[in-house]
Amino acid sequence: MLTTLRRIVLEFSQEAELQVALERIVTSVKKAMATDCCSIYLADYNQQHFVLMASDGLAKGSQGQTCIGFSEGLIGLVGQREEPLNISDAHKHQDFIHAPEVEEDDFNAFLGTPIIHQRKVIGILSVQQTESRLFTENDEAFLVTLSAQLANALANAEIKSLLNQQEERNQGVKQLHGIAGSPGIALSEIVVCQPQADLAAISLKKSDDTNNQLLRFEQAVENTRQEFNQLSNKLSETINDDSLAIFDVYKQLLEQANLGQEITAKINEGWRADSALKLVIEHYISQFEALDDSYFRERASDIRDLGTRLLVHLQQQSQEELTLPQQFILLAQDVSASMVAQYQHQGLLGIISLSGSNNSHAAIIARSLGLPAVMGVNAVVLSQLHQQQAIIDGYSGQLFINPNDTLKQEYEYLLNQEEELTNKVMEVADLPCITQDGRAIEVLLNAGLSAGFEHSAKLGALGIGLYRTEIPFMTRSCFPSEQEQTQIYRKVLQAFPKHGVTMRTLDVGGDKSLPYFPITEENPFLGWRGIRITLDHPEIFLVQVRAMLRANQGLNNLEIMLPMISSVEEVDEAVRLINQAFFELKVELTTDIANELMSNNSQNQLTLLQAQQKAKAVSAALTRPKIGIMLEVPSVIFQMEALSKRVDFFSVGSNDLTQYLLAVDRNNSQVANLYDAFHPAVLSALNSLAKQSAQYLTPISLCGELASEPAGAILLLAMGFDKISMNGHNVPRIKWVIRHITFEQAVNLLDKTLTLSTTKEVHSYLNEQLEIFGLGGFIRAGF
């Protein structure tokens, strides 16, 4: 039986056309079970009925035409009960409905089982027999097992089928779903962009002429660097924020101290330049794709884009120009940051990427440009969408292919309203984030790249609430030196000279391993990561802290934040090391400067006392920063009093805290739908943390996706959070939301929300209240 099951599922998944796959499966099941009929129905939730899609035994003319309501007949009963139904004589069952067009009068025995994907019935698989009998337990077990294995494949195939079904079962509009990458609406023609080079197609070969291969690579690097300069300059004409820093990272990676050095080393080992490029780039891609952190996993797309650009220049291909209409929506398998930069001046209205998420740099740049983006639209054949008319809804992640006039008119109206709302939002960018009755909350920036925060400051961000320091570590072939880190951190601190910049110490581990410091664990989320790894390796921690302290000289806006804290002992040890680094560096600066002054001024007979006074004045610029911890491990909820005595501030990492509280990996598609920061348990935990921090007089902030949600920001305000941190494009939106409510409204909203028992109730209530507050335009299209 197992072999038969595998064969049927494999045949189904390998078939490109859904209808052909369905017809093949009913025939295979009928033969395998030796029945007289096998049929498969798919659920249509828009019409609230099951559609007979394929059958071997029922009338051919009924396929695609016969519909059975969700609450009608034996098929509807299987869907309602969500369990198998085994009947010896179907005609005598009280729920049996006679449908003459299917010609099933001769069939008596009936066995049906639901096909369920992520708790949702997506279809029914049934078999029928002329003989009046109950199907055996083996028959039932076979059908149930087959349905369970088909669920994932059918869920994806169902999306694919929308492109192939005739007139979408008389609805005319083809609808696809993805991830909302950037808010907004676009109506235009789709242009498909195919990569000009493919690393996967490169065969690994060696060369005897190493010098020539090195020359080829050096020229490709120079041409690629020039290309990135052009793209960055072109993009900077429209935006000038931290999203542009991706091009700085690209150029850094090309340097000999980074990827360039590794590729050169491979060439020196005898590999051809393109083979060396393939080996190094694919190694880094696999490293990043293995990460559990979605932000860092998306960096694989950046590495792939860099590798593709280099390969184009290695192969000395001329840049092919797409034939573009005046306005268009860009579609690609993996839309990259450089693609957005390349086409944004040529009529680009929006982007669709078959892979990626809202953390990809294409989505980040799209948000900065105000372009709607839908990411992760799976199981779509690119060629089928080229030059198709489409509507993309960046709020919901929906994509409509060949929309009818009614749908076009509806979205054109919503688009006009959206433009009006965007203009209104930008009016408050420079104003304080304060409610109508005077309650204030600071809105800060989340960042993780090397430079370019000026535009975010213009959007109203009052500093950086979370600066991820991992990127310089992850894009190199060895640990960065103290001097290199100092230069990077100095640029970040200088971007907000009058506001605080919170730098998180190195947060790597099993799920974010470094290529030169590999860590293999069975369960990286509960393993050696964050503060655990840096405390076990103080030589890494001390160098980073010293670099931060050096960078902070004369600016005094640094705040150091410790990640993944789970115990008081970890805080004590980390604070001890920070103090050690501070006092050691102070002594070094005083001694070095005094010696330098005495040496340089020996001819002027500068007294020792005068030299020491000048040295002390310089070292006085080195100040001990505030130290805080991230609250993301549930154990800290019960240690707040002890922790408050040891640190200057708290910052909740709501993304990880949600995952740990709910025991859900949001990157696991099987359970990702259970991840929700609006879960009642998560909201109760956040409220408890805020109340305890107020009780112990310790400032508290939150950096996570919840802060950028309008309802989330209102709830956090009511809980008593002092600061919230988010991506730059959300700063003016959240400011506008807070400025258009009262603190009393926020408190009432929180009080009611905390009484709700389910996530569904929470979302329903919050969306309803946002509409009442006049803020519905922030959670859907329109204003």
What are the catalytic residues?
Answer: 361, 703
> Token pair for residue 765?
């209530």
Q: How many CA atoms lie within 13 A of 132 on its CB side?
A: 6
Query: What angle, 0 to 180 degrees and rounded to 10, lies between the N-to-C axes of helices 608-619 and 568-600?
Result: 140
CB 1: neighbour CB atoms within 10 A?
Answer: 11
Looking at residue 602, the DSSP 8-state letter turns out to be G
* CA–CA separation, 169 and 334 (whole Å): 31
* CA–CA separation, 41 and 54 (whole Å): 7
* CA–CA separation, 683 and 685 (whole Å): 5
CA-wise closest residue to 19 among 122, 149, 160, 127: 160
For residue 46, the surrounding DSSP H or E stretch is none
> Token pair for residue 89?
């004589």
> Token pair for residue 689?
């943390």
3-state secondary structure string, 577-603? HHHHHHHHHHHHHHHHHHHHHHHHCHH
Residue 600 CA, chain-centre distance (Å), reads 54
* CA–CA separation, 676 and 392 (whole Å): 24
- The neighbouring-strand residues paired with 649 are 628
Tokens 């001046």, residue located: 345
CB 147: neighbour CB atoms within 10 A?
Answer: 20
Q: Do 355 and 214 meet the contact criterion of CB atoms below 8 Å apart?
A: no
Q: Please provide the DSSP assignment of 642-693 as one string.
A: HHHTT-SEEEE-HHHHHHHHHT--TT-TTTGGG--TTSHHHHHHHHHHHHHH
* CA–CA separation, 436 and 432 (whole Å): 11
* CA–CA separation, 705 and 428 (whole Å): 22
* CA–CA separation, 735 and 741 (whole Å): 11
CB contact set of 256 (below 8 Å; sequence gap of 6+): 264
* CA–CA separation, 687 and 720 (whole Å): 8
CA-based angle 500:506:512, to the nearest 5? Answer: 130
* CA–CA separation, 658 and 712 (whole Å): 13
> Token pair for residue 446?
């989340």
CB contact set of 5 (below 8 Å; sequence gap of 6+): 142, 145, 146, 149
Q: Do 50 and 77 meet the contact criterion of CB atoms below 8 Å apart?
A: no
- Count of positions (residues) in the chain: 783
For residue 422, the surrounding DSSP H or E stretch is helix 405-426
Tokens 């794709």, residue located: 289
Q: Do 589 and 522 meet the contact criterion of CB atoms below 8 Å apart?
A: no
* CA–CA separation, 212 and 589 (whole Å): 48
CB contact set of 382 (below 8 Å; sequence gap of 6+): 192, 194, 331, 332, 333, 354
Q: What are phi and psi of 66, to 5 degrees?
A: -75, 125
* CA–CA separation, 315 and 311 (whole Å): 6
CA-wise closest residue to 75 among 95, 54, 55, 101: 95
